[in-house]
Structure 1
Amino acid sequence: MASASDMHVEQNVAYYLSPVGLIKIQASAKGITSLKIVKDKSHAHSLIEEHRLETLHNCTNPSHNKKLDEALKWLEEYFCRPEELRKDGCRRLPPLDLPMGGNFVRKVWLTLADHVPLGRTTTYGELAQLAGRPAASRAAGQAMRTNPVSIIVPCHRVLPKSGGVGRYSGGEGSVTKQWLLDHERVCGDMKHAK
């Protein structure tokens, strides 16, 4: 386990230094409200220096927000021991406090988190169908673009029907998406969820 100097936790914000970049996590008393890869590399570098984040992987550290602790533990398992998460499929996610958004958008986020486990992929059309609106693949795509908790709600597992990895708004875009998919392949054969 990493030491206390490997991560920084403020009351409702934590940073996690991962292989895909610095991740900023925000939480309420109910759960995780935001999880984003810091895109601006110079800003990420200054945060790393400011908070003395020294190692690539950081582990949980007691904070004043148990929801942040749970998210940090989940990220540690995702990046360092994904086989542990694979055992539980989608079920062992940190608690989320998602914005209301539209009913369909929220349903798409929750459907993705509940039905497309680590090591599986789906298409926008299949995700729309799982969420109860088979003709709404574009709306499912829009829901992915507005996903506030990337990686936990795994929008990187949603691929275009035409093939390839498609777009990704986190980190370095499609390069980050491909890295996440390749990382999940180390846990076993990548499969298409239906």
Structure 2
Amino acid sequence: MDATGQKQNQRARDTTVTPRPVVWTVVDSGIGPLLLAATPEGLAHVAFHASPAVRDRALARLGSRFGTDPVEAPGSPVLSEAARQFAEYFAGRRHVFALPLDWSLSSGFNRQVLRELATEVPYGTVVGYGDLARRVGQPDAAQAVGAAMGANPLPVVVPCHRVVESDGGIGGFGGGLETKRRLLALEGVLPEPLF
């Protein structure tokens, strides 16, 4: 085999995915239906506005990423516990999620930022994009922090809604600005909307 063929074979081996089982369910929440997906390691993905079309796209991406077709399994232990904790959160009775998490859908800088956010920005508080960049030792990476928030596979559990602009603006949000406002209002950071 020539050098080109060897490189192609190596690239194919490098991109081969070891199949991992994925289970999923959709739960109702204070912000609409959420898709919850888990692997044996823990909760791996949360998707907002889980209409059938959104659900199907998310499941296709998860299947590609984990090398297997996700299976609907609302009674799985991790999904049952996640559903219970989400219900408590939206009822105002839970301020910290205590779930095993599968971090495999994020890596590098994104994972570093998301872990900092998950452990160091508590319920009812906010942090600026630049502040979060400084916390992870990258003071000039505010835009990269924004990109990490947009790529967060575990919103609400890893609370990207708590990251705001330094000038007081609400910033962006993958679940939509109204969803971000509702989450911040639930946590007492913003007033509840009048209507």
TM-score in terms of structure 2 length:
0.70
1:108 to 109, 113, 126: 113
Query: SS at the partner of 1:120?
Result: coil
- In structure 2, the CA distance between the partners of 1:32 and 1:135, relative to structure 1 (3 Å rule), is same
- How far is the alpha carbon of 1:39 from its aligned partner? 5.6
2:179 to 176, 179, 193: 176
Report how many residues are paired. Answer: 151
The residue identity in structure 2 corresponding to 1:119 is G
- In structure 2, the CA distance between the partners of 1:39 and 1:168, relative to structure 1 (3 Å rule), is farther
Kindly, what percent of the aligned residue pairs are identical?
34
Asked if residue 85 in structure 1 is aligned to residue 109 in structure 2, the reply is no
- How far is the alpha carbon of 1:167 from its aligned partner? 1.3
Task: Answer with 1 or 2: which has the greater Rg.
Answer: 2
The residue identity in structure 2 corresponding to 1:183 is L
User: Which residue is equivalent to 1:23?
Assistant: 34
- How far is the alpha carbon of 1:100 from its aligned partner? 5.4
Structure 2 matches for 1:25-174, cutoff 5 A? 25-38=36-49, 40=51, 43=53, 63=75, 65-80=76-91, 82=92, 84-86=93-95, 90=96, 92-99=97-104, 101-170=106-175, 173-174=176-177
The residue identity in structure 1 corresponding to 2:94 is L
Any gaps of 5 or more consecutive residues in structure 1?
1-10, 45-60
Query: SS at the partner of 2:152?
Result: coil
CA distance in 1, matches of 2:141, 2:78: 33
Name segments (4+ residues, structure 1) moved above 3 Å: none
- How far is the alpha carbon of 1:43 from its aligned partner? 4.9
The residue identity in structure 2 corresponding to 1:167 is G
The residue identity in structure 2 corresponding to 1:146 is A
Per-residue CA shift, 1:124-183, capped at 9, x if unaligned? Answer: 01111112212211111110000001111110000011222111111xx11110010001
Decide whether the 8 Å contact of 2:43 with 2:99 is kept in 1.
yes
Any gaps of 5 or more consecutive residues in structure 2?
1-21, 55-72, 191-195
CA distance in 1, matches of 2:138, 2:77: 35
TM-score in terms of structure 1 length:
0.71
The residue identity in structure 1 corresponding to 2:134 is Q
CA distance in 2, matches of 1:122, 1:75: 22
